[in-house]
Amino acid sequence: MPYYKSSNEGVGMVILLLIGCFIMMISISGLNWTEKYYCQKYVTNEFIKHNSVETSLDNIDSSKEGKLVRFAGMTVTNEVITDNIFNISVENSMSLNRVVEMYQYTEKRHSHRERRGKNSYRTYYTYTYDKGWHKNLINSSSFHFNNTYRNPKTMEYKNENFAVKNITIGAHNIPVSRIRTLSPSVKVEIDYGKIQVPIISATIENDYIYFNVDKEKLAKEDKEKAKHGLLTDERGRRIGFKIEKYQVNIDRPEIGDVRIHFSKHPNCEATILGKQALDSVVPFKSEFSDIFEVREGNLSIEQIVSEGEKTSGTMLWIARIFFFLFISFGCFLIFARMQYLGCLFALSNSFVVVTGILFSVWRPYQPLLGYFSLGLMFLGCFCSFLIWVNREGA
């Protein structure tokens, strides 16, 4: 009995074809970019292995000028870093952090669906609000109940990082921006005899400075009234000014309360890999990327490279499997009319595509991997040919 294809079925096949082509294009582009990215990392690591040299720590070796050099030692800073607003100072450190947090609301939206009929549903949303300390301002105007849950619009002080101007390791100058936060941050103990807090209502507890801007404004107003005898209680009696009334309750913070603490990045042992330029170290321009490594501790070239290779190898195989499955899915949509053979045909074609990309990307740099991929690609082509020839019998 002859088979007549309906117009609806034809439209459906065209849609599947277009979707399949789109998925394959995106997946092939993604896999190609990923392979090139990790291939470039491989080439860079190989360059580091074969071209980097050790250099003297305490002397500038002119014979190493312009070369990729590696050395390790303790960072040295001869400056005192100061936050002038609070008069907090640290020595033997690469940077000082002022960490400002505000007690604010955060919103969470929860949804649940409820059946309203045979084929209809209605989605309901509920909102919950939590309080907590946050370093950045949270915009409460976007909250669902923004009239009830409001956060302050400004923060009195900002988070800042103060760094030294010069950092050296032996005789070499190291770019401050590359190394200022290398070591783990350590909390700074506040010297109560030196700290200057420009907030009269501030409380200092466990090396934290607590205050509230609204309470601070009220405290300043009431202090001025008390000077002129205008500060009164609820019954109209004159009273003296007591700062405790305006201070933050540390155990029960309120929205808008602010706390500040300080941390530092002390000097540490570091390993540097970069281009020697007189008494400085700068990024070395290789074929694909700029090489400049700053690592904590004393690491050899092999250790620096192997750390990156382990991570890269795992991520690369995850990406390959992910894109292979998506290419297979797109190919299956294109050949959906082949029924169960369409799945095998999609897998074999996807195998051809993936191995073809591996061949084109890796052949110039890893010929063994490239030509092995080429052999697998021909094997995939042969399998696809067999499936296509036998499609009618299926």
pLDDT in tens, 96-132: 999 999 999 999 999 888 877 777 778 889 999 999 9
246 and 201 Cβ atoms separated by less than 8 Å = yes
Q: Percent of the chain beyond pLDDT 90?
A: 44
pLDDT digits (tens, 9 = 90+) for 65-81: 999 999 999 999 989 99
Domain ranges of the chain: 7-45+305-389, 81-266
Backbone angles phi, psi at 194, to 5 degrees: -110, -25
Query: Would you put residue 87 in left (φ > 0), alpha (ψ -120 to 50) or beta?
Result: left
Instruction: Report which listed range, 40-44, 117-121, 338-342, is most confident.
Output: 40-44
Of the two residues 392 and 375, the one the predictor is more confident about is: 375
Instruction: Count the neighbouring beta carbons within 10 Å of the beta carbon of residue 283.
Output: 15
Cα 394 to Cα 346: distance, rounded to the nearest angstrom? 16
CB atoms within 10 A of CB 348: 21
Question: CA torsion angle for 177, 183, 185, 191 (degrees, to 10)?
Answer: -90
Q: Are 223 and 149 in contact (CB under 8 A)?
A: no
**What pLDDT is recorded for position 337?**
67
The helix (run of H) or strand (run of E) holding residue 94 is strand 93-115
* Strand, coil or helix: 156: coil
Q: Which residues 6+ apart lie within 8 Å of 378 measured at CB? A: none
Contact predicate 187/263, CB 8 Å: yes
pLDDT confidence tier of residue 151, bands split at 50, 70 and 90: very high
